[in-house]
Copies of this chain bind each other. A is one copy, B any other.
């Protein structure tokens, strides 16, 4: 059913998205080409347009998928704020292609219906982690400010890590390094 033989591919949409992830992980979003994706999937050069409309349609789908995956990853990380922060970084490193597209709204249609919903879902998962913080640290006066600071520090660390801008001494374990960085923002007794 998912075989590639025959006139109908069977699962071309998913195949194209997976190929896009491969290309972006190898060479970045700038190197993405619909014709190349079609070649990798073994279909004609115009086949992708049927599923995504145009290039930004494909990237919209990729970003939407990314926000859903991020929301799930944050959910699975449990209620602890530190763990959620590490999960955020872990998602960025483990789904680098999705992450690189998600925060580049000039590449896709940021007002697309499914995307808006997925982004809101991820945003809520992000905020509920900070709500847990307010419970365990009653001294916190401004949970929204805490949320912004937490989001900034994990997002910045992830972005710097992915761009290769960090000095080598940071090491090669993003989870451990992220944990230390987040710990500085919310020190535990």
Contact = CB atoms under 8 A, between A and B. Distances in A.
Q: How large is the interface on A (under 10, 10 to 19, 20 to 34, 35 or more residues)?
A: 35 or more
Interface stretch (A6-14, A34-42, A100-108): A100-108
A104 B163 contact: yes
A62 B152 CA distance: 26
Contact of A157 (B28, B156, B169): B156
- Say whether chain A's binding surface is mostly helix, strand, loop, or mixed: helix
Interface string A84-111: 0000000000000000000111110010
A83 B165 CA distance: 22
B149 A181 contact: yes
Interface string A16-30: 000000000001111
Nearest to A144: B169
B156 A152 contact: yes
With most chain B CB atoms within 10 A of its CB, the pick from A149, A158, A167, A177 is A149
A148 B181 CA distance: 7
A16 to B, nearest CB: 19
Nearest to A156: B156
A140 B118 CA distance: 40
Name the 9 nearest CB pairs between A and B, nearest first: A156-B156, A28-B106, A152-B156, A155-B156, A152-B157, A149-B184, A153-B153, A103-B163, A149-B181
